[in-house]
A and B are shown apart, each in its own frame.
Chain A
Amino acid sequence: MFVIVVGGGKVGYYLTKELIESGHEVALMEKDRRRADQIKDEIGSVVIAQDGCEGKYLHEAGANRADIVAAVTGDDEDNLVICQMAKHHFDVPRTIARVNAPKNERLFRHLGVDEIISPTRMILGSIEQDIPVHELLHLAALGVGDLEIIEAHLQPGSPAIGRLALDIPVPNGCSVFGIIREGEPTPLKGDTVLSEGDKVIAIGRPESEEALRELLIGEPEES
């Protein structure tokens, strides 16, 4: 596969190295000449010391035949433009953007970026997993539409405890597909009864989340 990586920071640098090691053809674009030269000394001629936001240089890097363009600079607006240029101007089949501000994720997805990686969101998700919360946990965002994988940890007070899993009236735009019970992934069967401590895993749209929360977590306790 031919991958164009734009942005020669830490992420771009290690990404390029790994891709080369796995045998892919890579071009790394870094507009800062000093940084570009520094990487060139280490990993060779795949480095192009040009701005990947500029149409001319994307073209010279071979965007016309790239299978993937990964925009991993530190600036969200640059990553958006790189992916849009790749997709709409050069017909690159798959575009991946690093997004730093979580609130930009929705806009990027809406504007047609195929895959969005948000380090901020991932770290946030990891912190949330360690804190007992009475909310739904967002495990991952899927590339399709606005879909997200959600986890609900059933705790005392949950209206779902004691019910048959398949009887739960899940809202439209949502699908419950498994539970984690005592650390073990457990498929949903006709006789699966939900119990305290289960982690229920669902795929859903943001708008069906509130209904799902009420079904699995329950009403927030008055304080």
Chain B
Amino acid sequence: MKAVIVGCGRVGAGLADELDRAGWQVLIIDLTTAAFDRLPSTFGGTALRGDGTDEDVLRRAGAEGADLFLAATEGDNRNVMAAQLGVEALGARQTVAKINDPVRAEAYALLGITTLCRTNLMMTAVLEFLGQAAPERPGIYPVERSHAHAGDEPAPTPAEA
């Protein structure tokens, strides 16, 4: 299994390590090499400095055809763009984007990208901790339908793209 992770923050680095231990082939990309200090010395995957929203950089790094493409930088919009490149241009099988704005998280789930919303995750966790009923506010919005870019057209398969 192949994973591409854009953004080597705590979440990105942590998941890179976990997947690497689980036997995945992991490629992690970040704009600064200092970010890779978060990876343990045992990390056996590839850590590459570069812009994960740049299609050329991703292609040169061999990011095509990943089983998982995770966009976990600090910027919601960078994650949106990287994730859409992952699914549209690089033929990723599954794409997850970290989007902290709940409205954007829901909107992009409707557009076909699984989104991970820290705001909702934390609110739900705190309310549950307090023993209060948490409103229906999923931390992960699963994909409702395949990634549709221009309305109702189906997303192209990697062979067409």
Contact = CB atoms under 8 A, between A and B. Distances in A.
Interface string A54-84: 1110010000000000000001111011001
B104 A110 contact: no
A80 B77 contact: yes
Contacts of A54: 101, 103-104
A123 interface: no
Which of A85, A101, A103 has most chain B Cβ within 10 Å?
A85
Interface string A123-154: 00000000000000000000000000000000
A193 interface: no
B88 A111 contact: yes
B89 A103 contact: no
A107 B77 contact: no
A28 interface: no
A85 B110 CA distance: 11
Contact of A107 (B55, B75, B108, B150): B55
Contacts of B67: none
A56 B107 CA distance: 12
Interface stretch (B16-24, B31-39, B79-87, B138-146): B79-87
Interface residues of B, number: 25
Which of B77, B78, B88 has most chain A Cβ within 10 Å?
B77
A55 B104 contact: yes
Interface in A85-136: 85, 88-89, 101, 103, 107, 110-112
A89 B88 contact: no
Contacts of B88: 107, 110-111
B53 interface: yes
B56 interface: yes
A107 B85 contact: yes
Given A77-B53, A77-B81, A107-B89, A89 B107 contact: yes
Interface residues of A, number: 21
Contacts of B135: none
A78 B104 CA distance: 12
Given A54-B104, A88-B111, A103 B80 contact: no
A211 B74 CA distance: 45
Contacts of B55: 103, 107
Nearest to A56: B103
A166 to B, nearest CB: 34
B149 interface: yes
B131 interface: no
Interface of B: 53-56, 75-78, 80-81, 84-85, 88-89, 101-104, 107-108, 110-111, 149-151
21 contacts: A53-B76, A54-B103, A54-B104, A55-B102, A75-B77, A77-B53, A77-B75, A80-B80, A81-B81, A84-B107, A85-B107, A88-B107, A88-B110, A89-B103, A101-B54, A107-B55, A107-B81, A107-B88, A107-B89, A110-B150, A112-B149
Interface of A: 53-56, 59, 75-78, 80-81, 84-85, 88-89, 101, 103, 107, 110-112
